[in-house]
Structure formats: C-alpha cells, structure tokens
C-alpha cells in the first residue's frame, strides 16, 4: 500500500531563515500533490497544488517542488516568520477521477523569534 | 460566501448512543469528503460523496458508521452505538471538482464518555 512520510515530526528554525519540509512517498507517483497548513484546533487550509508534470510552483513566500524520480516533494517557506508556525501536511491524489487525497502525517514547524 | 460549515463543534456522547455530524459544503461545491483525525495522528480518509451518491467509502469502518449527502440539506456522518475509540476530530471538506484543493470545515470534536 502507498506510504507517505514527512521529514520529521517537528522542525525548529530561526525567524528569517528558509524552512524546508519534505514529503516522500513509495510506489507509484500521484497525479496531484497538495500542501496544507493546519493550526491547533482548526481544519487544514489549502496552500498549493502541483501536478506530476510540473517541477515547481510558487506563491508569495512559498515554493513547492515535485520530483517523480526521487518520489519526493519539497515545500519551502522563505523569510519565515513566527506566524508561519503550524503543522504542514502533504496530500497525494492518484489518476482516478474523483479519488480522494491521501494525507501524510504532517510536520510541526516552529519559527523562533 | 460562507466556507464549509460543520456542526456541532463539540459533541459529547455516552457509550452506546448515536452521534450525528453535519456538514454543509461551500456554495457551488458538489464533492464532499469526511476525514477523521486522532490526537497526534494524521488525517484518515473515511468517505467521499457527491449529491445522493457515495463515490468511495473505502475508509469507513464496516459497522456502525454511515454517511449520506441528500439532494437537499447537509451531508451527515452517523455513528451508531459509539465507543470510546470513536473519540476524535471529524473533518468535512468540499471541492468544486474532484481534483481541486479542498476547503475544510473547522471540524466536530466527538468525545465518548
């Protein structure tokens, strides 16, 4: 069965630095990969979607890459701020119409002032 | 334009009672997904519905759990004869199309005592 791993349970970085979060998967590559942010006690919030034929996607201070050879996606937050502290989830969807997204366990990011 | 509305936010049930969780998707969204999140764990897919149809229920426990999305009204996740292990946060998400980013509700936190 498909397995999704996110680099670590928790990541601490200093304000102003770039945070890099990793999402690795086994077996076959998804058609779509998404990243979400989740704050304690709240539902996840959609950030970015990248398709299997796209290498990179950007949105303001966020950048996502997708390497189907390595079976990995990287999620970068540049010029990080304490307000970026949250849990970040990657989610994969395969090429069957309407199939649900499968979520990774998440990485809890803490940006220290 | 209201987001995904879930109610109640908190629900306490005694063992053996029934729990009904409601979800109204965003306006214009016809795809609804239910996920369960246990403390310190990731989101686990339960069921995917479109109006009046269950598309994928591969994540639903075989017994006691059911879901519907009627032509009129909200989607309902129903848990009969609840047990302590059902205590979790239940999130509903909706999308316009199956491959879009999901919009999540704030969740219903079910506590079984």
pLDDT, one tens digit per residue, over B22-36 is 999 999 898 999 999
Q: How close is the nearest chain A Cα to the Cα of B95, in Å?
A: 10
Surface of A (9-28) touching B: CB under 8 A = none
Q: How close is the nearest chain A Cα to the Cα of B108, in Å?
A: 10
Minimal CA–CA distance to A38: which of A83, A86, A105? Answer: A86
Query: What single string gives the DSSP state of each residue in B20-82?
Result: EEEEEPPTT--EEEEEEE-TTS-EEEEEEEETTEEEE-TTS-SSSEEEE--SSS-EEEEE-S-
pLDDT, one tens digit per residue, over B82-108 is 999 999 999 999 998 766 788 999 999
Residues from chain B contacting residue A36 (CB–CB below 8 Å): 102
Gap between the Cα atoms of B4 and B32, Å rounded: 10
pLDDT, one tens digit per residue, over A9-43 is 789 999 999 999 999 998 777 888 999 999 998 99
């Amino acid at each position: 069965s498909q397995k999704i791993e996110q680099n670590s349970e928790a990541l601490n970085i200093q304000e102003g630095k770039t945070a890099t979060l990793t999402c690795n998967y086994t077996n076959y590559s998804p058609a779509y990969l998404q990243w979400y942010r989740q704050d304690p006690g709240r539902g996840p919030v959609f950030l970015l979607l990248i398709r299997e034929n796209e290498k990179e996607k950007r949105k303001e201070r966020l950048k996502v890459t997708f390497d189907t050879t390595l079976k990995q996606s990287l999620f970068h937050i540049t010029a990080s701020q304490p307000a970026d502290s949250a849990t970040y989830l990657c989610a994969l969807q395969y090429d069957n119409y309407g199939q649900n997204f499968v979520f990774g366990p998440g990485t809890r990011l803490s940006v220290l002032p | 334009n209201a987001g995904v509305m879930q109610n109640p936010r908190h629900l306490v049930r005694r063992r053996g009672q029934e729990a009904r969780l409601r979800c109204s998707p965003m306006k214009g969204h016809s795809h609804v997904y239910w996920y369960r999140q246990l403390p310190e764990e990731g989101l686990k897919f339960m069921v995917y519905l479109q109006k009046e149809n269950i598309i994928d229920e591969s994540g639903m426990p075989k017994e006691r759990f059911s879901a519907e999305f009627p032509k009129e009204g909200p989607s309902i996740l129903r848990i009969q004869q609840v047990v302590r292990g059902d205590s979790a946060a239940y999130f509903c998400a909706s999308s316009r199309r199956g491959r879009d980013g999901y919009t999540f509700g704030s969740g219903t936190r079910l506590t079984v005592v």
